[in-house]
Amino acid sequence: MPTTNIPIAYVSPFIPREWVAAHGCTPIRVTARAARGTTFDGQGVCYFCHSLAESMMQVEEAAAVVMATTCDQMRRMAERLSTELSKPVFLMNVPATWRTETARTIYRDELRRLGDFLVELGGRRPSVDEFVAAANACGQRADDLLYSRGGNFNSAESRGDSIPILLLGSPDLREHEELVECIRQAGGHVEVDGREGVERTYPLSIDKVLAEQDPIEAMVDAYFDQIPGAFRRPNDALYTWVEQVVKTRGICGAIVGHYVSCDPWHAESHRLKERLDIPCLVLDYDECPDISERAKGRIHAFMETLR
C-alpha cells in the first residue's frame, strides 16, 4: 500500500513541490549553510555545492534527495552524494536549451520519471484531483510574492531615503545575510533579491484550468517555460526580468555576487554590468562563509556613489 508524508529533500526551483506533494510526499527545500568540512569532502565541487551537500546530509529524516542538472557543479555533487549517502539520490535533467518542443518533452519525461521514483519510494500515483489539491495548497506562496513575472509589480513600502538595490548572482548561503546587513548599514536596502533560489526563481502559480486537463503540462508551463535562469540558452528572459524589475521597482543600483568557480554567473555578471542602465557592482565571493572586509568596503564605496 502507498504511504504518505514521505520526506523528500530537494534544492532546485525547477523541481515542482506540487508534484512531490501530490505523490503523498513532504517536500523539504534545503538551503545551504557554510561548509565546515566535517561531513562531506568538497574536493571537485564549488564552495556553495560543498556547503549544500553538507546541509543535505544533515536532513536525516529525508527518505531521498532530489536534485537538478542546472550546472556542472550540481551534477558532480549529485554523483558524489549518490555514493556517500545511504538514501537514493534522484538527478533530474533540466535542459539548458529551452523554447523548443524537444526540450519541453525532455522536461515532461523527467517529471514522469520523478513520479515513478516517488512511487518506488512508497508514494502514491496521484489522480488529477489530488494534483490540483496539492497545487492549491502550494500555490499560495506564489500569489504572495511581491511581483508576478507577467509584469504586475508591486512596490515595497517606502523606506525613506534608503537606496533600493537589486541583488543578483550565485545562490546565497544563510551566512550571507551579512551581505544584506552591510547594504543596510551603507544606506540601502535589498528591494529585490534576484539570486538563485530566491525571488527571481520562484515559479508562477499553477494554472488550475490547465492542471485539470494535463497536470504535467501545467508544471511545464509554470516552471520550465517561465523561470529565468543564467544557465539557460538563450537566457534573454533573465535580462527581460532584470529590466522589468529595474523599471518598475525603482532600483538605483545592482550588486552581482558570484563564487570564483561559478561559471554561469562569472560570465553573466560582466554582461549585466555592460547592459544595465544603472550602476552595477560585481563581487567575487571568497570560498569561505563570511563576506570579506574588502567586499564590505567595496559595497560601502558603491553605495556612496548612488547618493
Decide if 207 contacts 221 (C-beta within 8 A).
yes
Asked if 84 and 216 sit in the same domain, the reply is: no
Alpha-carbon distances of 25 from 67, 85, 113, 119, 292, rounded to whole Å:
16, 20, 15, 10, 40
294 within domain boundaries: yes
210 in the same domain as 92: no
Q: Above 80 in pLDDT, residue 51?
A: yes
The answer on pLDDT for 164 being more than 90 is: yes
Asked whether the beta carbons of 65 and 46 are under 8 A apart, the reply is no
The CATH number for 24's domain is 3.40.50.11890
Across the range 136-156, mean pLDDT stands at 50
149 domain residue, yes or no: no
Assign 155 a pLDDT band (cuts: 50, 70, 90): very low
Mean pLDDT for the chain overall:
89
- Pair 22, 122 in one domain: yes
What mean pLDDT comes out for the span 39-48?
A: 79
**pTM, 2 dp:** 0.90
User: Which residues does residue 258 pair with via DSSP β-bridges, in sequence order?
Assistant: 284
pLDDT at 149 over 50: no
Residues 254 and 293 in one domain: yes
Q: Do residue 168 and residue 297 come from a single domain? A: yes
Q: Give the pLDDT mean for 139-165.
A: 56
Q: How many residues does the chain have?
A: 307
The whole domain housing 231 covers 163-305
Helix, strand, coil percentages (3-state) for the chain, rounded to 5, are 45, 15, 40
Percent of the chain whose predicted confidence (pLDDT) is above 90: 70
Q: Say how many domains are in the chain.
A: 2
Q: What is the pLDDT of residue 268?
A: 94
Average pLDDT over residues 123-142: 87
Position 14 in a domain: yes
Domain presence at residue 114: yes
Q: What is the pLDDT of residue 150?
A: 38
Cell of 45: 565541487
Residues 233 and 275 in one domain: yes
Average pLDDT over residues 239-244: 96
Residues 72 and 174 in one domain: no
Beta bridge partners, 164, equal: 189
Whether residues 293 and 181 fall in one domain: yes
Decide if pLDDT at 264 tops 80.
Answer: yes
Residue 194 lies in a domain: yes
Same domain, 48 and 92: yes
DSSP element (H, E) containing 155: none
pLDDT over 50 at 176, yes or no: yes
Q: Is residue 231 in a domain? A: yes
pLDDT at 27 > cutoff 80 = yes
Q: Are residues 77 and 136 in the same domain?
A: yes
Whether residue 173 is found in the same domain as residue 224: yes
Residue 151, in any domain of the structure: no
pLDDT in tens, 68-118: 999 999 999 999 999 999 999 999 999 999 999 999 999 999 999 999 999
Question: Is the pLDDT score of 206 beyond 90?
Answer: yes
Residue 21's pLDDT band, with cuts at 50, 70 and 90, is very high
The sheet that has 25-29: what strands, in order across it? 25-29, 6-10, 64-68, 89-92
Average pLDDT over residues 283-291: 75
Mean pLDDT, to the nearest integer, of 168-189? 87
- Lowest mean pLDDT across 147-151, 168-172, 253-257: 147-151
Q: What is the CATH number of the domain that holds 207?
A: 3.40.50.11900
